[in-house]
Structure 1
């Protein structure tokens, strides 16, 4: 690539800020896609990338996804994201996190950070010692804030139920088979709720022990990571990393529904058409997984309590229904429909 502008995922991003701190070894990228609706908000991901170019592509895709997610959730926030480039050993120190916090503060509020993969509440506390532009902090019982994972999983659960209702005509998950990719916070919350409703679960994770622990808890079965995408089931729920739906994997899908919390599930825009051509109902990821950022926004803006957060999350199925209805009426795939709606909301129609 000659420059940032040449990346396929560059989409009129307002800025990308490259951070280096020699003392702590911090290397990070903060990207803001849009501040049309408010400060660019989105979590920080701590991840080991094989190439720096992979990190740049990831932060561009993720920040654009946050613009769309926040807009579609009706939040007064723009879209941003950050990635901290971990070494192969995933070395993370308090000094490194503090240096990142100073970098966020230096942007003067144009970017607001929170948790993402590899980053936890304790890291947010360290960041908050350096800047006020942070959410996802520990809170008292009953207050809004803290780990966004449980809120994301609740929204995904409601979205899965909405997809089952539309595609299978079922009001309950009882007796249905869900293939769950991932066994982290979001997948775990979804698994527990689905199991309580009587669903049968097949679970995979690159951490086999974590997958087994979750399976034991919910009475599910562990399958190999390479098997989950071809498993015969009622729902495939991707809840790990993105770009898992490409030409080859879509051709091998054996489910009528794909609905999960992972970001950027479609490897390319054309893959939305491929999923639709297979007759598979797809829940656009940044719509179904908005529960976490809804909680973060309510905490940061201070415009509601836990009941308001729950009410806002429970609006996710209605937005999905609106997308699916327009998709059925126009023939455009749900991801394309959602993108069009989001771009109108951020002034980029």
Structure 2
């Protein structure tokens, strides 16, 4: 890469390593961030996105890799946190040459970082990356991988939602509860299916009309609204942001009727103060990285030879983890976001290796 003047000062972050990757022939420009390997090699997906600037890409990889460290720790995985971003529009730039060049960069890290799918990348892409490195998960079933991780992501969110209901209403059942889902892509659709089976009343929105049409065709009782703004103004029991981050702003919290927020989207809080606003309004927020960990649990299971039942059992435990976070927050009179962070940090601190830098075994 060229040497940009970064708006982000990496000295303000506690990352172990930030790697800049460039392959002129294929057009690859990527950044890999390793936040922590205290619990084991870092695991986190590769995001392929048309960032406006390199500074924006660096800021994203720093935030996402830290989030993965906390997610993996809270999920009880013996893995650290990392993330990668490839800069560019995947529809224009993605190619076998680029993905293989990226795989070679991952290989140079010697197992300190395992990559997987994220926004803009899919299992088929990981199969290509895997032709150059063994440090890749989230591969297709045909190549011995776990396949679509949205299945266990949605299962984990469902368990987190049930735990939140237990905490708020004293009953984990969502039967008869009204749940609003913003975003019915793969995870949102699977979540809707689980909630239909549970007997919940569901309202959805998504700007991609074919996704809404497909869902309502399969489940005609699901109601739809045109926008997220309309959805949050519905009389909801549970609000499930399952699209992009930053869904919970000051304005959203001010009008939200739901008693619970529990969804699959990453980085739902527009800023850290939103957690306090939710608490002040007696809205129970199930921290996103706590409840959406089913996907990383699924791809992490590949490292031991994938077994769906084993991975699903581990993702089911998100119920207990979520309940522990909510009870800790209530007991400490703090926000649920702060309680989740403290639990993750405690595990990294207490279980992590005496030497916090993971190195491959000889």
Q: Of 244, 247, 261, which aligns to 1:244?
A: 247
Q: Of 115, 120, 140, which aligns to 1:138?
A: 140
1:285 aligns with 2:288: yes
Comparing 323-332 and 46-55, the one that deviates more: 46-55
Comparing 119-128 and 211-220, the one that deviates more: 211-220
**In structure 2, what is the Cα distance between the partners aligned to 1:145 and 1:234?**
33
Report 1:169-180 matches (<5 A).
Answer: 169-180=170-181
Q: CA distance change for structure 1 residues 340 and 2 in 2, over 3 Å: closer, same or farther? A: farther
| Corresponding position of 1:186 | 187
Deviations 1:11-40 (A, max 9, x none): 301122122222122222111110001111
Deviations 1:208-243 (A, max 9, x none): 222222233233233223423333211110111212
Report 1:69-218 matches (<5 A).
Answer: 69-87=71-89, 90-139=92-141, 145-218=146-219
Comparing 158-167 and 47-56, the one that deviates more: 47-56
Deviations 1:150-195 (A, max 9, x none): 1111111111111122213343222221111111221111111101
- Report the 3-state secondary structure (helix = DSSP H, G, I; strand = E; otherwise coil) of the residue aligned with 1:322: helix
**In structure 1, what is the Cα distance between the partners aligned to 2:318 and 2:51?**
32
**In structure 2, what is the Cα distance between the partners aligned to 1:125 and 1:158?**
30
Q: CA distance change for structure 1 residues 314 and 89 in 2, over 3 Å: closer, same or farther? A: closer
C-alpha RMSD over aligned residues: 2.3
The two structures have a TM-score, normalised by structure 1, of 0.92
Q: Of 265, 273, 278, which aligns to 1:275?
A: 278
- Report the 3-state secondary structure (helix = DSSP H, G, I; strand = E; otherwise coil) of the residue aligned with 1:309: helix
**In structure 2, what is the Cα distance between the partners aligned to 1:234 and 1:121?**
35
Q: Of 223, 236, 260, which aligns to 1:221?
A: 223
Comparing 319-328 and 44-53, the one that deviates more: 44-53
Comparing 170-179 and 149-158, the one that deviates more: 170-179
Report 1:241-320 matches (<5 A).
Answer: 241-302=244-305, 305-320=307-322
Comparing 261-270 and 224-233, the one that deviates more: 224-233
Is 2:39–2:78's contact at 8 Å kept on the other side of the alignment? yes
Return the offset for 1:140.
6.4
Report 1:45-84 matches (<5 A).
Answer: 45-84=47-86
Return the offset for 1:4.
7.1
Comparing 194-203 and 37-46, the one that deviates more: 194-203
**In structure 2, what is the Cα distance between the partners aligned to 1:56 and 1:72?**
25
Deviations 1:247-302 (A, max 9, x none): 22222222111001111111222211111111100101111111111111121144
Post-superposition, which runs of at least 4 consecutive aligned residues in structure 1 deviate over 6 A?
Answer: none
Where do 5+ consecutive residues of structure 2 fail to align?
353-362
- Report the 3-state secondary structure (helix = DSSP H, G, I; strand = E; otherwise coil) of the residue aligned with 1:201: strand
- Report the 3-state secondary structure (helix = DSSP H, G, I; strand = E; otherwise coil) of the residue aligned with 2:141: coil
Is 1:47–1:90's contact at 8 Å kept on the other side of the alignment? no
Comparing 172-181 and 218-227, the one that deviates more: 218-227
Return the offset for 1:89.
5.3
**In structure 1, what is the Cα distance between the partners aligned to 2:25 and 2:145?**
35
Where do 5+ consecutive residues of structure 1 fail to align?
none
Is 1:183–1:210's contact at 8 Å kept on the other side of the alignment? yes
**In structure 2, what is the Cα distance between the partners aligned to 1:131 and 1:88?**
21
The two structures have a TM-score, normalised by structure 2, of 0.89
